[in-house]
Amino acid sequence: MNIDRRGARRRHKRNATKLSPNFKKLSNQIRLETLNSKIIRGLMIVVVLISACSVGFSLMVKKNVTAEALAEKQFQELAKSYYENFFYDNFVNGHKDEITAKGAEFVFKPYLKTGFPMVKLRRLLSYSDENNLDKRIYFEHKKLTCNKDLSSVTFKPHAPFGKTDYTTDPILSCQKVEE
């Protein structure tokens, strides 16, 4: 046994074979290749799992998004746009003198319980051609047909009678088209 400078005992291996530099390079290269292949394999598994999850999620979402649901959503958006961007402004401008003289509550009071006269889907689609031409496809297509005269919405205002102070009672009359 030898003692090195620090006082630690060192054992010499007399029968130990020295590895050639080429063999060391080769073993390091093999280690790196196996490490790289493990990383690549792991990444491939992650990609496959993410793909499977996204396909499953899209199938579940597609089942929940039906023609009826899309029609109802578009009907609500049309009604909101009609009331807030067209009807309310016209109504307030038509009763401007009464609102300033007696207040908004006096003008809106007759409509609190019953609401304004119902507005048909036909009117919602035609009040603004530039905004609503593209919305017609949600109510007439190969899977669903909505009756534009029976489908309607009633707007009921409530205090403080602003543009967004209202509730809707929508009635959407649609039928699935059988193939």
Tell whether 125 and 167 lie within a shared domain: yes
* Length of the chain measured in residues: 179
* Tally of structural domains, the chain: 2
Tell whether 130 and 85 lie within a shared domain: yes
Tell whether 84 and 164 lie within a shared domain: yes
pTM of the model: 0.61
Tell whether 169 and 138 lie within a shared domain: yes
Can you give the pLDDT at residue 83? Answer: 92
CB 43 within 8 A of CB 89: no
Can you give the pLDDT at residue 66? Answer: 78
* Residue showing tokens 């005269």: 149
pLDDT band at residue 104, thresholds of 50, 70 and 90? confident
Tell whether 89 and 125 lie within a shared domain: yes
Q: What are phi and psi of 125, to 5 degrees?
A: -80, -25
Residue 79 belongs to what domain range? 65-176
6 vs 114: which has the higher pLDDT: 114
Which ranges of the chain would DSSP assign to H, the alpha helix?
A: 21-64, 67-82, 88-94, 96-102, 104-108, 121-126, 129-132
- Sign of the alpha-carbon torsion through 87, 89, 95, 100: positive
pLDDT band at residue 76, thresholds of 50, 70 and 90? very high
Query: What integer is the mean pLDDT of 60-69?
Result: 69
Mean of per-residue pLDDT scores for the chain: 81
* Domain-located, residue 108: yes
Can you give the pLDDT at residue 18? Answer: 61
* Domain-located, residue 99: yes
d(CA 157, CA 23): 86
Q: Is the pLDDT of residue 168 over 50?
A: yes
* Domain-located, residue 2: no
